[in-house]
Amino acid sequence: QVQLVESGGGLVQHGGSLRLSCAASGFTLDYYAIGWFRQAPGKEREGVSCISSSDGSAYYADSVKGRFTISRDNAKNTMYLQMNSLKPEDTAVYYCGTPNTIDCGYEYDYWGQGTQVTVSS
């Protein structure tokens, strides 16, 4: 069974950093695109970042570009989101997911339970 488990969220001050982890099971991470989206209460779901398996290209929302970095560790079957220079506007529940294909730009078929990120002002 496909499972994705996020971890690493927490409470940080503005300007701080967090590294989110997404542990995958039931499939080999290297064969699929995988990414992050977030949702704050009362707001629309927002795609944050995605990395493809076809060419390794990484994509970022304009709101996080230059501050967040997506990566993966195939040996651990785990994907990461390094979050630097955090802002209160980044406060949300962060989810990792896969569109169950090799490229980014498609709807997610699977995602985890999410991890809360709260950035104080």
Reported as a single tens digit per residue, the pLDDT across 60-100 is: 999 999 999 999 998 999 999 999 999 999 999 999 999 99
Burial group, residue 66, by CB count within 10 angstroms (0-12, 13-18, 19+): exposed
Q: How many CB atoms lie within 10 A of CB 29?
A: 23
Backbone φ and ψ for 84, nearest 5 degrees, come out as -115, 165
Q: What span, in angstroms and rounded, lies between the C-alpha atoms of 61 and 116? A: 19
Contacts of 2 (CB under 8 A, 6+ apart): 24, 25, 26, 27, 98, 110
Query: What was the pLDDT predicted at 16?
Result: 98
Q: How many CB atoms lie within 10 A of CB 115?
A: 22
Query: What was the pLDDT predicted at 28?
Result: 87
pLDDT category, 10, cuts 50, 70, 90? Answer: very high
DSSP state at residue 15:
T
